[in-house]
């Protein structure tokens, strides 16, 4: 069911990666190439290893076996700040420190660029101004991050990783806890950044959102990649049934033409049919 990934040795990739937390592996002998300049979205059932894989790509979780490679070189061989200048991770549900402003939060994205010999510079100011403008937060720069709406707060976190100025952005379930309008606002922003040349990898749960926004779709099950490629080729009724246990039709989205999953009616065990309800 898999399709060919991008060229080996370039960008970010996983080779025979196995990860566990002291028990059975969460990720098993996984191989994956992240296509440069694409918006890659990873989907799969709960517990299949999506977030664990993303953390390993960011060097937060160390594989028990195999390697994460950046430009063909083991990611562990990079110094911490050097790796953070190339790969940025926005984890699930980050919490801002009390009393921090939006600008103060975004400034944290510049830490990997600083050292004893290089402190704050006009380049940092430019990066922060760009990140605030790109996320529509310039006028809220001095606002308290804790007082923002959910959508604004998530944009502030996106601005922080944008200010980091990395080649790759890793976003772990960035739409969690957002209402539906803010979910689409955030995904539209990711799509715009992708069109501007950013390499973005996001974990999502919503299959239709994944199929609409991804240029490269990765499907995981039980710690392995079972399919990857363009959403139009990957998202099929057979795959959704096999991976998610959901019988469905897959039809063109009337707005975008991208695959749209339409579930079949599910009869509750021991209860009346949905039609009778």
What are the tens digits of pLDDT across the range 226-246? 999 999 999 999 999 999 999
Give the number of other Cβ atoms within 10 Å of residue 35's Cβ: 19
**What pLDDT does residue 8 have?**
45
Q: What is the 3-state secondary structure (H, E, C) of 168-202?
A: EEEEECCCCCCCHHHHHHHHHHHHHHHHCCCEEEE
For residues 177 and 13, which has the higher predicted lDDT (pLDDT)? Answer: 13
* 27 touches 53 (CB < 8 A): yes
**What pLDDT does residue 80 have?**
87
Give the number of other Cβ atoms within 10 Å of residue 192's Cβ: 11
**What pLDDT does residue 277 have?**
43
How confident is the prediction for the chain on average, in pLDDT?
Answer: 90
Domains of the chain: 1-86+168-181+194-277 (3.40.50.300), 96-165 (no CATH)
Percent of the chain at pLDDT above 90? 78
* 110 touches 128 (CB < 8 A): yes
Please check the confidence at residue 4 and state whether its pLDDT lies above 70.
Answer: no
**What pLDDT does residue 177 have?**
82
Q: Which residues contact 38 (CB under 8 A, 6 or more apart)?
A: 194, 199, 200, 215, 216
Please check the confidence at residue 222 and state whether its pLDDT lies above 60.
Answer: yes
**What pLDDT does residue 5 have?**
38
Residue 62 pLDDT level (bands cut at 50, 70, 90): very high
Please check the confidence at residue 194 and state whether its pLDDT lies above 60.
Answer: yes
**What pLDDT does residue 266 have?**
75
Residue 188 pLDDT level (bands cut at 50, 70, 90): very high
**Worst-scoring range by mean pLDDT, 70-79, 129-138, 202-211, 260-269?**
260-269
**What pLDDT does residue 59 have?**
92
pLDDT of 129-185, one tens digit each? 999 999 999 999 999 999 999 889 999 999 999 999 998 999 999 998 889 999 999
Cα–Cα distance measured from residue 69 to residue 10, given in angstroms and rounded to the nearest whole number? 9
**What pLDDT does residue 268 have?**
61
Q: Which residue has the tokens 């994460």?
A: 68
**What pLDDT does residue 10 have?**
62
**What pLDDT does residue 3 have?**
37
* 67 touches 13 (CB < 8 A): no
C-alpha closest to that of 72 among 130, 124, 24, 13: 13
pLDDT of 244-271, one tens digit each? 999 999 999 999 999 999 999 876 655 5
């Amino acid at each position: 069911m898999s399709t060919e990934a991008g060229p080996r040795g370039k960008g970010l990739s996983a080779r025979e990666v196995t990860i566990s937390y002291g028990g059975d592996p969460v990720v098993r002998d996984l191989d994956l190439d992240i296509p440069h300049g694409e918006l890659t979205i990873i989907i799969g059932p709960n517990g299949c290893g999506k977030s664990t894989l993303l953390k390993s790509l960011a060097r937060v979780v160390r594989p028990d076996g195999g390697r994460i490679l950046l430009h063909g070189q083991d990611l562990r061989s990079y110094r911490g700040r050097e790796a953070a200048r190339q790969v940025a991770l926005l984890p699930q549900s980050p919490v801002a420190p009390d009393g921090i402003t939006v600008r103060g939060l975004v400034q944290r994205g510049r830490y990997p660029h600083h050292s004893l010999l290089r402190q704050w510079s006009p380049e940092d100011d430019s990066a922060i101004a760009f990140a605030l403008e790109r996320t529509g937060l310039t006028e809220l720069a001095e606002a308290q991050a804790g007082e923002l709406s959910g959508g604004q707060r998530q944009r502030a976190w996106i601005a922080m990783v944008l200010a980091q100025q990395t080649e790759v952005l890793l976003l772990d379930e960035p739409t969690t806890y957002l209402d539906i309008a803010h979910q689409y606002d955030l995904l539209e922003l990711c799509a715009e950044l992708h069109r501007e040349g950013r390499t973005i990898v996001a974990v999502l749960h919503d299959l239709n959102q994944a199929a609409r926004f991804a240029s490269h779709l990765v499907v995981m099950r039980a710690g392995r990649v079972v399919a990857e490629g363009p959403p139009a080729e990957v998202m099929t009724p057979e795959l959704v049934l096999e991976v998610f246990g959901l019988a469905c039709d897959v039809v063109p989205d009337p707005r975008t033409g991208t695959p749209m999953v339409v579930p079949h009616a599910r009869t509750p065990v021991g209860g009346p049919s949905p039609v009778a309800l």
